[in-house]
Structure 1
Amino acid sequence: MALKIKPLADRVLIEPEAAETKTASGIIIPDNAKEKPQQGKVMAAGKGTKDEPMTVKIGDTVLYGKYAGTELKLEGKDYLIMHESDILAIV
Structure 2
Amino acid sequence: MLVRRIEADEKTAGGIIIPDTAKEKPSEGEVIAIGPGARNEAGQLQPLDVRVGDRILFGKWSGTEIKLDGQDLIIMKESDVMGVIEQAATLKKAA
**What TM-score, normalized to structure 1?**
0.79
C-alpha distance in 2 between matches for 1:62 and 1:36: 14
Q: How big is each residue's C-alpha offset from its partner over 1:13-55, in whole Å with a ceiling of 9 and x where there is no partner?
A: 0011013311111111111110211111100011112433211
C-alpha distance in 2 between matches for 1:13 and 1:34: 23
- What is the aligned partner in structure 2 of residue 88 from structure 1? 82
C-alpha distance in 1 between matches for 2:31 and 2:76: 11
C-alpha distance in 2 between matches for 1:71 and 1:41: 14
AA at the equivalent of 1:54:
L
AA at the equivalent of 1:13:
L
Q: Which ranges of 4 or more aligned residues in structure 1 deviate by more than 3 Å?
A: none
By relative contact order (CA 8 Å, sep 6+), the higher-ranking structure is: 1
Given candidates 39, 43, 46, the residue that maps to 2:32 is 43
C-alpha distance in 2 between matches for 1:22 and 1:88: 25
In our comparison, the structure showing a higher alpha carbon Rg is 2
SS in 1 for 2:76: strand
**What TM-score, normalized to structure 2?**
0.76
Unaligned segments of structure 2, at least 5 residues: 41-45, 86-95
Count the aligned residue pairs: 80
C-alpha distance in 2 between matches for 1:22 and 1:56: 30
- What is the aligned partner in structure 2 of residue 31 from structure 1? 20
**1:68-83 matches, cutoff 5 A:** 68-83=62-77
SS in 2 for 1:85: helix
